[in-house]
């Protein structure tokens, strides 16, 4: 089998993919962190594609600082749009299939039913807009793509809401957490495993898919579950979005419908709380 190349390999999802590869002795996966492969450097991308001739490319590289993006739109655009497009162009030239990761934040949050791939994406912040523009750029250049929209990623690796809550919960007596933003957390290890389901299926059902864990929760309820499962004793107060001002607006509802991904790949998706138990167990090992 030709190789799989993971770009943005030192980020959260990249590290989860590496963990899945190591635990399952999967061969032929090449992990390239930004220091070894900048997705904005087209000359070095050409060398990498020529050398490895990857069957699949997984794009985990992204600008993910949601608040910072509001004041740094140029950089966010470069990485999330131009970078994604650069990879798609190289995939087209070298016959690779691209698995590109996107976000529930492409939705505006003004519709309170689980969002399908056919629902209109209407981002309300720079991060979400650049991720949507990145999706469009990939799809325009390359037919052989899987765009996976996921949401609220967390894991034992890198920075994420679950690790922030564990840290703050241990430091403070009380925390205020937004209870009127609703979505679904995704354990990045589950997403990493799903990426290998796509690869192993050799599916040609290219297009956009929603993948998060199952179920629905708010940031407040997610935090409560983190504290309950980990045994961290902290008073968690539910608050409204307007009581926790942030630079970027976030969708108040970004639950995704996963019927398409379940039918196409014949998968069962873990319930968010079950995966949270697994993740916290691994953090506390």
Which residue in 53, 63, 209, 77 sits closest to 145, CA to CA?
209
Alpha carbon distance 77, 84 (integer Å)? 10
Which is the catalytic residue, given 56, 127, 209, 253?
Answer: 127
Label each residue of 47-103 as H, E or C: HHHHHHCCCEEEECCCCCCHHHHCCCHHHHHHHHHHHHHHHHHHHHHHCCEEEEEEE
Nearest approach in angstroms of CB 153 to ligand TDO is: 6
Give the contact letters, 246-275, x = binds to ligand TDO (CB under 6 A), - = no.
x---x-------------------------
177 scored as a contact of ligand TDO (CB under 6 A): yes
User: Which is closer to ligand TDO, CB of 181 or CB of 230?
Assistant: 181
103 scored as a contact of ligand TDO (CB under 6 A): yes
DSSP labels, 103-124: EGGGS-S---SPBPTTSPP---
* Closest chain position to ligand NDP (CB): 11
Taking CB under 6 A as the criterion, the residue among 4, 29, 48, 79 binding ligand NDP is: 79
Which of ligand NDP, ligand TDO, none lies near 158, with the C-beta cut-off 5 to 8 A by kind?
A: ligand NDP
10 scored as a contact of ligand NDP (CB under 6 A): yes
User: Which is closer to ligand TDO, CB of 38 or CB of 70?
Assistant: 70
Q: Which one-letter DSSP state was computed for residue 159? A: S
Is 127 an annotated catalytic residue? yes
Q: Please report the beta strands in the chain, taking only residues with DSSP state E, as ranges in sequence order.
A: 4-7, 29-32, 56-59, 97-103, 145-150, 153-154, 174-178, 182-183, 186-187, 207-210, 217-218, 235-239
**Applying CB under 6 A, which part among 9-17, 110-118, 199-207, 224-232 lies near ligand NDP?**
9-17
Which residue in 59, 198, 79, 199 sits closest to 142, CA to CA?
59
Give the contact letters, 13-52, x = binds to ligand NDP (CB under 6 A), - = no.
x--------------------x---xxx------------
148 scored as a contact of ligand TDO (CB under 6 A): no
Contact residues for 222 (Cβ-Cβ < 8 A; gap 6+) = 152, 161, 162, 165, 185, 272, 276
Cβ(31)–Cβ(13) below 8 Å: no
Site residues, ligand NDP (CB under 6 A): 7-8, 10-13, 34, 38-40, 60-62, 64, 79, 83, 101, 103, 131, 150-153, 158, 160
Q: Which residues are catalytic?
A: 127
Site residues, ligand TDO (CB under 6 A): 64, 66, 103-105, 151-153, 161, 164, 175-178, 181, 219, 244, 246, 250
């Amino acid at each position: 089998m030709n190789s799989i190349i993971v770009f943005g390999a030192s980020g959260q999802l990249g590290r989860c993919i590496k963990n899945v590869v190591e635990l399952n002795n999967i061969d032929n996966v090449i992990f390239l962190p930004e220091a070894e492969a900048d997705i904005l450097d087209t000359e070095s991308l050409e060398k990498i594609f020529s050398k490895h001739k990857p069957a699949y490319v997984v794009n985990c590289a992204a600008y993910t600082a949601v608040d910072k993006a509001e004041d740094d739109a140029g950089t966010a655009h470069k990485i999330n749009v131009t970078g994604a497009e650069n990879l798609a162009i190289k995939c087209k030239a070298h016959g690779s299939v691209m698995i590109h990761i996107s976000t529930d934040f492409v939705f505006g949050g003004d519709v309170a039913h689980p969002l399908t791939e056919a629902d209109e994406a209407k981002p309300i912040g720079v991060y979400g807009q650049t991720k949507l523009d990145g999706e469009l750029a990939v799809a325009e250049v390359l037919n052989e793509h899987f765009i996976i929209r996921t949401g609220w990623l967390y894991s034992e690796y890198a920075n994420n809401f679950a690790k922030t809550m564990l840290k703050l919960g241990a430091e403070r007596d009380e925390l205020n957490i937004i209870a009127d933003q609703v979505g679904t957390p995704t354990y990045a290890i589950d997403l990493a495993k799903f990426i290998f389901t796509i690869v192993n299926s050799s599916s040609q059902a290219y297009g956009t898919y929603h993948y998060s864990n199952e179920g629905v929760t708010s940031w407040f309820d997610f935090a409560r579950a983190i504290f309950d499962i980990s045994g961290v004793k902290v008073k968690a107060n539910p608050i409204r979005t307007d009581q926790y001002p942030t630079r970027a607006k976030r969708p108040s509802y970004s639950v995704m419908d996963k019927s398409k991904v379940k039918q196409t790949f014949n998968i069962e998706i873990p319930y968010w709380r079950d995966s949270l138990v697994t993740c916290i167990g691994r953090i506390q090992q």
